[in-house]
Structure 1
């Protein structure tokens, strides 16, 4: 797997989590800038999904199996956008908490993707 992209995506997810966690601490809902950051993190996850699928199509195999690798790729891609939609429904600090939690979850998924690939 493309290690630099995995690292950048994980760090961006943690930065998003910290920023939205700070907003929740200050009792604020997600704002437009948070959604812009969610879009950046989602594009990174999409790029990772594309790179992963291309590598699988070229015949490269993850150490722990294709099925679990694809499942984690799809979960990593869907994690932040799903939380973004949920934060739109909950326009309180809990929307920010939801996005912060999704950033932490995405960072953990990135570590797991690295392990599954054989890192």
Structure 2
């Protein structure tokens, strides 16, 4: 697993969580700029998914098992798009709060992925 990519994704997710959390605090829904930031975080998660699958295909083994690792990879990839979809359905401050919560979940999933790989 690429540690630099994991750290970059975690930092980006926490920055998104802070930004959307601040928007929720100010009683604002998600705006176009928030969705651009969610797209950037999603692209980083896609890159991590591809890198993880390539490493598995090359024969590298996670410390706690392939199935668990793949499940966490897929979950981390789907977290922010799911939160974005829910924020579109809820065009109030709670949409921003949903994205903030999803981004925090992604950061926690990244820590767990690092642990599963053997970090």
TM range (shorter): over 0.9
- 1:13-24 matches, within 5 Å, as 13-24=13-24
Q: Does 1:106 align with 2:106?
A: yes
How far is the alpha carbon of 1:104 from its aligned partner? Answer: 0.3
Name the residue aligned to 1:28.
28
Name the residue aligned to 2:88.
88
> After TM superposition, which residue ranges in structure 1, 4 or more long, deviate above 4 angstroms?
none
TM-score normalised by length of structure 2: 1.00
How far is the alpha carbon of 1:58 from its aligned partner? Answer: 0.3
- 1:51-62 matches, within 5 Å, as 51-62=51-62
Name the residue aligned to 1:39.
39
Name the residue aligned to 1:11.
11
Total equivalences in the alignment? 119
Name the residue aligned to 2:72.
72
How far is the alpha carbon of 1:31 from its aligned partner? Answer: 0.1
How far is the alpha carbon of 1:85 from its aligned partner? Answer: 0.4
Name the residue aligned to 1:48.
48
- Once the two structures are superposed, residues 10-69 of structure 1 have per-residue CA deviations (whole angstroms, 9 ceiling, x without a partner) of 000000000000000000000000000000000000000000000000000000000000
TM-score normalised by length of structure 1: 1.00
Note the aligned Cα RMSD (angstroms): 0.2
